[in-house]
C-alpha cells in the first residue's frame, strides 16, 4: 500500500525541531471526511445484501430533499434514470443516497464497521486514530443520507487504503503491516504476528465493484488517473471540510483511491490533498495518483 497526504504549509524542516511531529504520521493520525471515495462502502454493502445489482436503476434528479436538508449532485443535470454502475461512474450523491436508503441504516452501519471504520487498523503506529463513526443510536434524521456519501464520518488514510485493499483482495480485509520481520545481529529472524483477516464482502461482490470502479477511471470522474498499459479500479472524492462551529465551509479535501491492475491487483494507493486548487479530486488527486502509481 502506498499512501500520501498533502497539507498546506508543510515544511520538512519542521520535523527537525519538534520531537512530537517526528513521531506523527498523518496517514494514521489525521482524520478527514472522505466524501465520494467512501461510496464504495454503500455500494458494496448494497450489492452484498442483494438489494441492488450493478444494473438496478434509480430515478436521479440533481437535488434531493431528505429530512431537513437538500442534497445536491456536483453539477446540474435533468432528472434521469441511472443504473448503480452509472451512479458510481458519475459519482452521483443523490443516486448513492437512494442506494443507502434502500440498504437501510442497520446494514449500512454494519458494513461501515466491517470495512474497519471506527477502529484502529492494527498497524501499531504511535498516535493512530480510530476515526469518528457515530453510534447508530446517536444518528440524526439525516445521517442515513450523509454517511452513504462520506459525510458525517471521519476516516484515516490507512483506513481508506485498507478498505480499497479489501476489494482488491477479493473481499477480504487484511490487517496492514508496517514491519514484516526483524533481523538480529546474529541473523535470527523474528516475524511479526500474523495479520488478522476477515471477510467483508464476497469475491463476487468484489468483482462487481472492480468492474464499476474500472469504469470510473475508464470514462467517469477518475479518467485522469489512467496509467497507460494498465487497467485501474478507483474512485474520486471531493469533500467540504467541517467547521469547528458546525456545518461546512468553503474548504475542501480531494482524494483518489484505487488499485492496479484490476485483475490480480498488486498495488493499492491513495492520495489525499488538503485545500487543492481546483478542489475536485478528479482534477488534482487523480493525476497525482497517476504519477505515483505510474512510476511504481
Name the pLDDT band for 15 (thresholds 50, 70, 90): very low
Q: Report d(CA 30, CA 156) in Å as an integer.
A: 6
Across 275-295, average pLDDT:
95
**pLDDT surpasses 60 at 11:** no
Top pLDDT among 25 and 115 is at: 115
Cβ–Cβ < 8 Å for 225, 271: no
Residue 179, pLDDT score? 84
Q: Identify the three-state secondary structure at position 95.
A: helix
* pLDDT greater than 90 at residue 2: no
78-99 mean pLDDT: 97
pLDDT at 171: 98
Look at residue 7 and tell me whether its pLDDT is greater than 60: no
Q: 194-240 pLDDT, tens per residue?
A: 899 999 999 999 999 999 999 999 999 999 999 999 999 999 999 99
- How much of the chain, in percent, has pLDDT values that exceed 90? 82
Mean pLDDT of 16-44: 84
How open is the CA angle 212-77-256, to the nearest 5 degrees?
A: 40
Asked whether the predicted pLDDT for residue 17 surpasses 80, the reply is no
For residue range 45-71, list pLDDT tens digits in order.
Answer: 999 999 999 999 999 999 999 998 999
CB atoms within 10 A of CB 109: 20
Confidence tier at 256 by pLDDT (50, 70, 90): very high
Per DSSP (E only), the strands in 22-115 are 57-60, 63-66, 69-72, 80-83
How confident is the model at residue 239, as a pLDDT? 94
Per-residue pLDDT reduced to its tens digit, 149-181:
999 999 999 999 999 999 999 999 999 988 888
The pLDDT value recorded for residue 180 is 83
Mean pLDDT of the chain: 92
Which grid coordinates belong to 66?
A: 431528505
How far is residue 123's CA from residue 199's CA, in Å, rounded to a whole number?
18
Instruction: State residue 178's pLDDT score.
Output: 83
Q: Which of 29, 36, 83, 277 is catalytic?
A: 36
Residue 37 designated active-site: no
Examine the pLDDT at 249 and tell me if it is beyond 90.
Answer: no
pLDDT at 280: 95
Cis peptide upstream of residue 287 (ω within 30 degrees of 0): no
Q: How confident is the model at residue 21 (pLDDT cuts 50, 70, 90)?
A: low
Amino acid at each position: 500500500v502506498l499512501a500520501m497526504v498533502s497539507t498546506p504549509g508543510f515544511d520538512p524542516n519542521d520535523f527537525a525541531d519538534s520531537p512530537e511531529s517526528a513521531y506523527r504520521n498523518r496517514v494514521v493520525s489525521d482524520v478527514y471526511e472522505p466524501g465520494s471515495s467512501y461510496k464504495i462502502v454503500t455500494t458494496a454493502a448494497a450489492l452484498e445484501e442483494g438489494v441492488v445489482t450493478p444494473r438496478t436503476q434509480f430515478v436521479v434528479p440533481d437535488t434531493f430533499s431528505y429530512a431537513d436538508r437538500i442534497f445536491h449532485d456536483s453539477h446540474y443535470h435533468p432528472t434521469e434514470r441511472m443504473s448503480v454502475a452509472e451512479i458510481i461512474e458519475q459519482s452521483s450523491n443523490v443516486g448513492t443516497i437512494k442506494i443507502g436508503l434502500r440498504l437501510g441504516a442497520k446494514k449500512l452501519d454494519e458494513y461501515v464497521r466491517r470495512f474497519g471504520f471506527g477502529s484502529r487498523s492494527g498497524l501499531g503506529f504511535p498516535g493512530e486514530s480510530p476515526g469518528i463513526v457515530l453510534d447508530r443510536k446517536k444518528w440524526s434524521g439525516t445521517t442515513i443520507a450523509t454517511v452513504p456519501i462520506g459525510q458525517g464520518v471521519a476516516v484515516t488514510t490507512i483506513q481508506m487504503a485498507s478498505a480499497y485493499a479489501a476489494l482488491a483482495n477479493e473481499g477480504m480485509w487484511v490487517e496492514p503491516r508496517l514491519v514484516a520481520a526483524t533481523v538480529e545481529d546474529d541473523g535470527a529472524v523474528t516475524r511479526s504476528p500474523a495479520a488478522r483477516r476477515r471477510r467483508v464482502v464476497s469475491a463476487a461482490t468484489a468483482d462487481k465493484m472492480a468492474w464499476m470502479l474500472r469504469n470510473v477511471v475508464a470514462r467517469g470522474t477518475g479518467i485522469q488517473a489512467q496509467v497507460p498499459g494498465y487497467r485501474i479500479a478507483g474512485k474520486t472524492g471531493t469533500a467540504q471540510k467541517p467547521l469547528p462551529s458546525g456545518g461546512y465551509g468553503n474548504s475542501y479535501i480531494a482524494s483518489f483511491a484505487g488499485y492496479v491492475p484490476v485483475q490480480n491487483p498488486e498495488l493499492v494507493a491513495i492520495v489525499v490533498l488538503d485545500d487543492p486548487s481546483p478542489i475536485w479530486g478528479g482534477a488534482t488527486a487523480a493525476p497525482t495518483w497517476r504519477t505515483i502509481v505510474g512510476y511504481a
